[in-house]
Structure 1
């Protein structure tokens, strides 16, 4: 029998979606892309400072990856100018220390809003990532990332092309760290983002509808319900449907809980009655005709008539 508290916890976990599911999927993607990026580096005498483009699984078509192997001392003294969209300045440090690092580049392309969704915003650029790993083992899988930081000058991310924007939209930079955090920052020179650490970057605009154009009044069109009215009714229908579904689900949960409480109370009552019956003293049974009926035990004190007290 499942305890009542455990039953409630199970119901709540089934009803409430996990807030870390998306973060988990993006971190799993990082692990997969790290493995395939490492495969692009030759096992025999890999060259330092050369960009190796890798291949991704067939189910991730549209994503591009690269690997760049560098000595940490050289990276700290010189930086690296032009690793795809990234310009890495000098002074970059990693933690924990490694003799060589491999910088894995990611361009998620049309998978950007799948692995890094931003409700209320639209991407005008793909999400690109830069992650650092220890280069001691080129066949390693599932490696933890190094903590790559630039305390002096920021890392620059120059996006070459952006989607065409209509008037009234203001693009901003968005940054995703490795722990599920999201931050926004202003653009530099129209298409450049800045960061002091590694992660994933993109350019987005707020998803707001442009101001409607002024049109002459048309009673027939108004009565027929134009496209805007249809969209409003559709959105209202979705909202009403979601509210009804939520109400039904809540009522079902309450009914289940009430039935469970009643069942538990009935089970406890029967258990108490059983224990009381087991602890009670049985009555004597005597035969009366062909039936056996319980009878009371004889009294210990023999009754005395009042006449016996008279001398």
Structure 2
């Protein structure tokens, strides 16, 4: 039979080993997120190339070319001063209406706004099971403009402090009967959020990201809507391979770690109690043995009864005055 401490060690080892197996099974989701973030890195590089061969002017939209394997996708680049972006905004940058009060974090003197229209690649890089796209996915991402030949740059954090950014889609696919369109927002960390459509084809946001309009696919079994993940107040933008593909896994890992810590503490307490109980039984047994093996007291007659009495004192007491010579 396995002893109690051995059982505790085996159980703890299995509990720690299980999360590592779960992490291996979550790799497909991470691959999907990695592909969309890698796409952002590629499109940033090609958007910056649109400035080459020109005397770059601030406030002018430059259209870029995409590689042949991304035909159907369109990109543009717009360079602005951060102060001008905050004071004046920018009206009608493709589908985007950028209001005044846009804050750039960390602060840079000039910012480049890269526009993306994924066209027929929308459902490939941003799949939504249970939903149909009525519009292409469009994106707006900000980068530092200090080096126009740089690639794989991390995104800046663009956030509206007053009015929201408006995304006005010009054309939508035919809307099926009996369904309500929804705005969908993809942040840079793997989060997905839904919102109401304004005026039939307008979405709004307080930060940068990717946007589209979708409807539920009634031809398939309904699936639960993705939950919106919490966006940090000032997120640290990621570069190539960044993103939040591991967000769900991180949440699962944190929960598992907390539960594992509680369980491990309970096991340790049980072991301590068990050891103390065994030691207590041993001490009691030794006391019983000592009591049974001790010297019996002598009996003396007190009245009609006999009671045990202690032996006489071996050392004769000495009074204090006997020490005086």
TM-score of the superposition, structure 2-length normalised?
Answer: 0.60
CA distance in 2, matches of 1:7, 1:174: 37
Deviation at 1:9, TM superposition (A): 8.6
Q: Secondary structure of the residue that 1:41 maps to in structure 2? A: coil
Aligned to 2:46: 36
Deviation at 1:43, TM superposition (A): 5.8
CA distance in 1, matches of 2:64, 2:201: 26
Q: CA RMSD, aligned part only?
A: 2.1
Gaps of 5+ in 2: 1-12, 221-325
Aligned to 2:115: 105
* Deviations 1:24-73, CA, capped at 9 Å, x for gaps: 11000000000000000136631010000000010000000000000111
Q: Secondary structure of the residue that 1:205 maps to in structure 2? A: strand
Gap change, CA 1:197 and 1:14, over 3 Å in 2? closer
Aligned to 2:79: 69
Aligned to 1:152: 162
* Deviations 1:206-225, CA, capped at 9 Å, x for gaps: 11139xxxxxxxxxxxxxxx
Aligned to 1:193: 203
Count residues with an aligned counterpart. Answer: 207
Deviation at 1:20, TM superposition (A): 1.7
Matched, 1:161 2:171: yes
Gap change, CA 1:15 and 1:197, over 3 Å in 2? closer
Deviation at 1:15, TM superposition (A): 5.2
CA distance in 1, matches of 2:141, 2:95: 13
Aligned to 1:130: 140
Aligned to 2:188: 178
Aligned to 1:277: none
Q: Does the 8 Å CA contact 1:43/1:138 hold for their aligned counterparts?
A: no
Aligned to 2:56: 46
CA distance in 2, matches of 1:45, 1:67: 14
Moved over 4 A (4+): 4-17
* Deviations 1:207-262, CA, capped at 9 Å, x for gaps: 1139xxxxxxxxxxxxxxxxxxxxxxxxxxxxxxxxxxxxxxxxxxxxxxxxxxxx
Gap change, CA 1:146 and 1:168, over 3 Å in 2? same
